[in-house]
Structure 1
Amino acid sequence: MVAYVTVRFSGSSSIRVLIPLTVRKKNGRPKILPPTDYRPSEDQAQDPHILRAIGRAWGWRRRIDAGEFATIQELAEAVGLAERHVSRQLRLAYLAPEVLKRLTCGREASAVSLYDLCFLAGEGWGEQKRRAFD
């Protein structure tokens, strides 16, 4: 998709700017993606959906480790979510420390969606890092 922006100046002069856009759904919402050669600035914020999901997963993991819940099914019933959803998102608590650090503190955007990030926990730590950021 391409967007054109026309800027008109006083008089009859104007400039037309071509902006290449890629629109893709991310976390169920349309998102405009930057060009592949775009380098984000240092002040880029983390994805709030990913941060919230990681925090929730760690909270659930602590509650299971503390013995508050014996199974994922009990946890899912207590928090009012589907067992499948809880099971999938709980995997985020088992991501490699380097991946977690870069997602939460490093201000780096993940190259994969939150859904795909949930399945990286089953991979080796080196593979997680490569797939999440390359």
Structure 2
Amino acid sequence: MTRAKPVPETVTVHVPFRLVKRGGRKEMQLPDGASSHRKMDNTLVKALARAFRWKRMLESGEFTTIAELAEREGIAPTYMTRVMRLTLLSPDFVQVILDRTQGPGVTLARLLEPFPMDWRQQLEHFG
């Protein structure tokens, strides 16, 4: 019978990374070539869900104006209008966001800025 080597009490692991701001929060970024499973950007997904829900509420006649809906939701009508523009994103680009394959530069702040209405140009614009 052989004796096992003693296990050290402390193990030190060095992981090279840097912290970057993404969507208003800090995120760990690994060096190029390191594998990582990016988690879904919940900020983008929530904004998309809200935009489509608000659009549906207006189209159904539940609310007649953005101002009325914004008041009920407790947010500024100007912010609601900017978020609702996300419903104008191409279905392909929405799928990219839901599949978590968008580039690191695709943040909610960037999506709330004016973007091309042509769906082909959107992928290039945010690419």
Q: TM-score, normalised by structure 2?
A: 0.74
Q: Which structure carries more strand by proportion?
A: 1
Give structure 2 stretches of 5+ with no counterpart: 1-6
Q: Which residue of 2 aligns with 1:129?
A: 123
Say which one has the larger Rg. 2
Q: Confirm whether residue 19 of structure 1 aligns to residue 16 of structure 2.
A: yes
Mapped contact 1:24–1:31 kept (Cα < 8 A): yes
Q: Confirm whether residue 78 of structure 1 aligns to residue 72 of structure 2.
A: yes
Number of residues of Structure 1 aligned to a counterpart in Structure 2: 119
Deviation at 1:46, TM superposition (A): 1.6
Q: TM-score, normalised by structure 1?
A: 0.71
Deviation at 1:76, TM superposition (A): 0.6
Deviation at 1:64, TM superposition (A): 1.1
Deviation at 1:122, TM superposition (A): 3.9
User: Per the alignment, in what secondary structure is the counterpart of residue 19 of structure 1?
Assistant: coil
Structure-1 separation of matches of 2:122 and 2:67: 27
* Percent of pairs with identical residues: 27
Mapped contact 1:47–1:109 kept (Cα < 8 A): no
User: Per the alignment, in what secondary structure is the counterpart of residue 24 of structure 1?
Assistant: strand
Give structure 1 stretches of 5+ with no counterpart: 1-8
Mapped contact 1:91–1:119 kept (Cα < 8 A): no
CA-based RMSD: 2.7
Structure-2 separation of matches of 1:16 and 1:40: 17
Deviation at 1:103, TM superposition (A): 1.1
C-alpha distance 91-80 of structure 1, shift in aligned 2 (>3 A) = same
Deviation at 1:19, TM superposition (A): 1.5
Q: Which residue of 1 aligns with 2:29?
A: 33
Mapped contact 2:16–2:31 kept (Cα < 8 A): no
Give CA-to-partner distance per residue, 1:65-109, whole Å, 9 cap, x none: 1122232211110111111221111111111110011111x2324
Structure-2 separation of matches of 1:73 and 1:16: 54
Alignment of 1:1-134 (within 5 A): 10=8, 17=14, 19-21=16-18, 23-36=19-32, 40-41=36-37, 44-104=38-98, 106-111=99-104, 112-119=106-113, 121-132=115-126, 134=127
